[in-house]
Amino acid sequence: MLIVGEMDLTLTKSKGKGEFHCPTCEASRVYDHRRVKRFLTVYFIPVIPISTVSEHIRCRTCKRTFPMEVASLGPEVQQRLKKVHFANDVRRVMVLTMLADDHAEPAEIDVLRRVYGEIAGIELSDEDIARDIALARRAPVDAAVYCRAIASRRAEDERNGIVRGAFLIASACGEISAERLEQLKQLPKAFGMSEDRFRGIIAEASG
Ligand SMILES: [Zn+2]
């Protein structure tokens, strides 16, 4: 008796490739365009392709898959996404730096809202900020660990911007607490940034 069936297989041989802004890597990446095909199987062995079930793109770096439309987002949307992703990194580092001494003062929240708004063009709501704080308190990472994790996806000017944000929030109420200072001092190393550059950012931000 012949056992005939069907099976869906993702064809790893790519149909094409291109460049896109990967939502996971939050950076420009190469993708492969892949298809999932339905095969007729004989004794569970795929023999004949019957139809294309779906198509998607796959980031070569993070290996995540996305709907085809993600590849064709226009440059403005890509640019927009890029900015928001960057703003989110700044925001996470700011919140983690602020919470180094477990304090969150209204003046500090204002700085967070302003810096984020300048980059993303979006105003953070009170709920957004409350959620950020709750998440950061539970997070197993501090600002330096976070910076190390994102260093490879951030260009030099972006790293400068992140350090600037961290300093602005740490100093929003005037004097910087010992815990925050300790945290700030770890950022240049986490980003592979020179001490000179770090001092320059601080001088510029305090001016
Ligand atoms: Zn990716």
Tell me the pLDDT tens digit for each residue of 76-114: 787 888 889 899 999 999 999 999 999 999 999 999 999
Q: What's the gap in Å between 147 CA and the centre of ligand 1? A: 18
Q: Is 169 exposed, middle or buried (0-12, 13-18, 19+ CB in 10 A)?
A: buried
C-alpha 79 – ligand 1 centre gap (Å): 16
Alpha helices in 67-177 (DSSP H): 75-98, 106-120, 126-138, 143-150, 156-170
| Centre of ligand 1 from the C-alpha of residue 39, in Å | 29
For 20-65, write each residue's pLDDT tens digit: 888 788 778 999 999 999 999 988 888 898 988 889 999 999 999 9
Q: Write down the domain spans for the chain.
A: 4-73, 76-206
Residue-level pLDDT at 25 = 81
Please give the CATH number for the structural domain made up of 76-206: 1.10.3680.10
What pTM, to 2 d.p., does this model score? 0.72
* d(CA 78, ligand 1 centre) in Å: 14
User: Rounded distance, CA 139 to CA 141, Å?
Assistant: 5
For residue 60, the CA-to-ligand 1 centroid distance in Å is 7
List phi, psi (to 5°) of 142.
-105, 180
Expressed in angstroms and rounded, the spacing between residue 15 Cα and the centre of ligand 1 is 18
Task: Please give the distance, rounded to the nearest whole angstrom, from the Cα atom of residue 70 to the centre of ligand 1.
Answer: 12
In angstroms, what is the span from residue 90 Cα to ligand 1's centroid?
20
Cα separation of 44 and 68, whole Å?
Answer: 30
Give the whole-angstrom CA distance, residue 138 versus residue 102.
Answer: 12
pLDDT digits (tens, 9 = 90+) for 171-206: 999 999 999 999 999 999 999 999 999 999 999 999
Nearest-angstrom CA–CA distance, 26 and 110: 26
Give the H or E element holding residue 173. none
